[in-house]
Amino acid sequence: MPQQSNAIRRSLGHADLKILANGIGGEFRISDNRKLTHDQLHRGRLAHAELAPGLSVHTVDVLDLADFSADIAMPPSISFSFVLGGEVSMLVGDDEKVSIGPDANNGQPQGAFLALQRPEHFKRFARQGCHLRAAIVVLTAEWLTRYAEDGLGASAAYARLSQQPVSHGAWSLTARQIALAEQILRPPQFEPLLHTLFLTSRAIEASAEALRSIAGIKPNEAYSLRRRDLDRLEALKHFIESDEAVGVPIDEIASRFGVSIRSLQRDFRLAFGTTIYSYVKDLRLNRARDALQYHGVTIAEAAHIAGYASAANFSTAFRKVFGVAPGRLRLD
C-alpha cells in the first residue's frame, strides 16, 4: 500500500502544507515578514501518495485565501506538473521567475517539468483568489533511469532533463494529458489496492506523455481525444455536477450534447477513467460525506443527498467506499 498524506479539510494551513511537503522529501515554510493566519492559507483539498519507491503523486485543488510567499526546499527529483486551473508562480534557479497555468497561458492548461540534480530552494508566490488545480508526478532520477537506459523511446527527453543542475520548461497540455491529470485529481472510488494501481498507471502514463512533449514526439492521435471533444466532456461533467442534471436520463443527456449514448459513455471513460454512472455515484457519496463531516446532517439526510431511498443501503455503500460507517463522520 502507498504511504498517503491527505489534507482534505476545507481550510488548510501551514501544518498541512508542511506534512505534504515532507511526503515528497521537501520542506515548506512561510517567508513573509508580515503576520499571517497560518491555519487558513488555502481552502480546498491537498493530497500526496507515494505509489512506489521513487514514484509519487501530489494533487492540489485549493483557493488561495491570502497573498503570501513561501520557501520550498526540494531534494533531487524530476517532477511533471499538469496545471488545469489558476497558476503557479515561483522563483527558480538564479532568481528567474516562472509562472505556469491557464492564468498565465491565455486560459490554456499548461504542463511543466522541473529536474533537480541536487537539493534546491525555491520561493512560491500565492495570490489571493487564485483557484489552483494541478496534478504533480514526482520521480527520482533512479526510477526514471531504469527506463531511459533500456532505450524506451524517451532518451532524448531524459537527456534534456539531466544536462543541467536545474532544468525546467513548460508546454501547453494535450487533450490526453488533461484527461490523465483529471483522473489523478479525481480518481474513482476504489478499494485501496485498486486505487493504488489506478493512480500508478495514470502517473506512469502522464510521465510518458510529458516526456513525449519534452522530446517533441507527436502523440498518437487515435489514442487521444480531440480538444473539442474534451471541451464537450468538461461541459458534460459540469452539467452532471449541477442540480439541473438530477433525474435526467442518459439518452436525454446525450441528445443535449449532440452525441450518441455509446460515444458519450466511451469518451467519458477515456477522459475521466470511469463510467458516467460510477462518476455520479461517487460524486453523490462524496457530497454526502462532506455534509456529514461539515454540516452535521442526519444519516437519512445524507442518504437522500447520495440518492439512496434506504439509509441502510446507503450505510453499506458508504462503508464499502470510505471504509468507515457514516455515523462516525457525522459532525455533532
pLDDT computed for residue 82 by the predictor: 96
Share of the chain above pLDDT 70, in %: 78
Domain match, 257 and 207 both: no
Average pLDDT over residues 98-119: 87
pLDDT computed for residue 325 by the predictor: 85
For residue 288, the domain's CATH number is 1.10.10
Q: What is the pLDDT of residues 74-87, one digit of tens each?
A: 888 899 999 999 99
pLDDT computed for residue 189 by the predictor: 76
Q: How far is the C-alpha of 11 from the C-alpha of 307, rounded, in Å? A: 27
- Domain extent at residue 267: 225-274
Q: How far is the C-alpha of 292 from the C-alpha of 290, rounded, in Å? A: 5
pTM: 0.64
pLDDT computed for residue 94 by the predictor: 61
Domain match, 78 and 188 both: yes
Domain match, 81 and 215 both: yes
pLDDT computed for residue 155 by the predictor: 59
Domain match, 36 and 163 both: yes
Domain match, 245 and 286 both: no
Average pLDDT over residues 142-162: 64
Domain match, 11 and 152 both: yes
pLDDT computed for residue 312 by the predictor: 92
Domain match, 100 and 146 both: yes
Helix and strand tally (H, E) in the chain? 11, 13
Average pLDDT over the chain, rounded to whole?
A: 79
Cβ contacts of 71 within 8 Å, gap of 6 or more = 27, 28, 29, 30, 31, 121, 122, 123
Whether the predicted pLDDT of 284 surpasses 90: no
Crossing angle of helices 276-295 and 227-241, in 10° steps, is 40
Q: How far is the C-alpha of 48 from the C-alpha of 21, rounded, in Å? A: 9
Domain match, 296 and 322 both: yes
Q: What is the pLDDT of residues 163-213, one digit of tens each?
A: 778 888 888 888 888 889 988 998 877 778 888 899 999 999 999 899 888
Domain termination site, one of 233, 250, 274: 274
Domain match, 144 and 198 both: yes
Average pLDDT over residues 91-97: 70
pLDDT computed for residue 199 by the predictor: 92
Q: Are 65 and 43 contacting, i.e. CB atoms less than 8 angstroms apart? A: yes
Cβ contacts of 171 within 8 Å, gap of 6 or more = 110, 111, 112, 213, 214
Strands (E), 22-164: 27-30, 42-52, 55-64, 68-74, 77-85, 88-92, 96-100, 110-116, 120-126, 131-139
Q: What is the pLDDT of residues 23-75, one digit of tens each?
A: 444 555 655 545 555 456 778 888 888 999 999 999 988 888 888 888 888 88
Domain match, 246 and 132 both: no
Domain termination site, one of 156, 187, 222: 222
Domain termination site, one of 222, 247, 265: 222
Domain match, 151 and 268 both: no
Reported confidence tier of residue 156, pLDDT bands at 50, 70, 90: low
Domain match, 147 and 235 both: no
In the chain, the number of structural domains is 3
Cβ contacts of 187 within 8 Å, gap of 6 or more = 195, 198, 199, 202, 273
pLDDT computed for residue 203 by the predictor: 94
Higher-pLDDT residue of 245 and 56 is: 56
For residue 111, the domain's CATH number is 2.60.120.10
Q: What is the pLDDT of residues 131-151, one digit of tens each?
A: 999 999 999 878 877 765 555
